């Protein structure tokens, strides 16, 4: 009597996504600074570094259209919409050191509003790229202006930079504030002042 033998196929191991060219070059860098990249504490560091770097720069693979995904709604509301204290982390393009802080974003609707969760996602999209704070601020504002065509957009970023805290002037408690004001926020002082007051940066 013949019996059928079941052939058990071993699953093919997926290649570790962190073992690419970035990891290989990081091993070389570790050697260049005088370390032993094969020692226990560093053996997997290049792999972890590649995974972390790809996550921290994942904004290059995102698009505003996919993030918004049609989440804009016709609403007869013409007062200010603010999402404040949006935490963000980014990488300074000059030294590849982190900077982090909070973003405050506002717009004046022009018969359309955007899903509130989309604003922090747009902030993350631009933050997860090699950046300078000034450009990051401007890109967030211009993106919302292009998507919504509102009567105005305001963005303020407050951040601390490790390139100032850990090296150079080594000032741990200094902060940087940048702003981008478009439309009525730029042209109307009372609108700008209302925004600053509502996020806690107004006078008094």
How far is CA 44 from each of CA 4, 26, 32, 54, rounded to the nearest angstrom? Answer: 44, 11, 17, 16
State how far the alpha carbon of 21 is from the alpha carbons of 26, 59, 117, 188, in Å: 9, 20, 35, 51
Tell me how far apart the alpha carbons of residues 193 and 81 are, in angstroms, rounded to a whole number.
14
- Dist. CA 198–CA 195, nearest whole Å: 5
Tell me the C-alpha to C-alpha distance, in Å, between residue 5 and each of 1, 2, 8, 10, 12.
13, 9, 9, 15, 21
Q: Return the half-sphere exposure (C-beta side, CA atoms, 13 A cut-off) of residue 49.
A: 18
Q: Identify the residue whose tokens are 């290649």.
A: 15
| Whole-Å CA distances, 111 to 120, 141, 182, 199, 202 | 21, 18, 17, 24, 28
How many angstroms from the chain centroid is the CA of residue 158? Answer: 14
Annotated active-site positions, please? 92-95, 133, 161, 163
């Amino acid at each position: 009597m013949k019996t059928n033998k079941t052939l058990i196929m071993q699953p093919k191991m997926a290649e570790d996504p962190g073992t690419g060219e970035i990891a290989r070059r990081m091993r070389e860098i570790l050697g260049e600074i005088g370390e032993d990249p094969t020692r226990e504490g560093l053996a997997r560091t290049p792999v972890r570094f590649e995974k972390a770097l790809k996550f921290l720069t994942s904004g290059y693979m995102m698009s505003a259209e996919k993030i918004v995904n049609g989440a804009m709604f016709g609403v007869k509301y013409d007062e200010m919409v603010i999402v404040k204290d949006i935490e963000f982390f980014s990488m300074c393009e000059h030294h590849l050191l982190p900077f982090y802080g909070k973003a405050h974003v506002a717009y004046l609707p022009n018969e359309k509003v955007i899903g509130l969760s989309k604003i922090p996602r747009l902030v993350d999209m631009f933050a997860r790229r090699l950046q300078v704070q000034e450009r990051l601020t401007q890109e967030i504002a211009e993106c919302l202006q292009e998507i919504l065509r509102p009567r105005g957009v305001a963005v303020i970023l407050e951040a601390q930079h490790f390139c100032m805290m850990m090296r150079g002037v080594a000032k741990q408690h200094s902060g940087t504030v940048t702003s981008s004001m478009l439309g009525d926020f730029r042209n109307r002082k009372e609108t700008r002042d209302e925004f600053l007051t509502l996020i806690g940066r107004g006078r008094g």
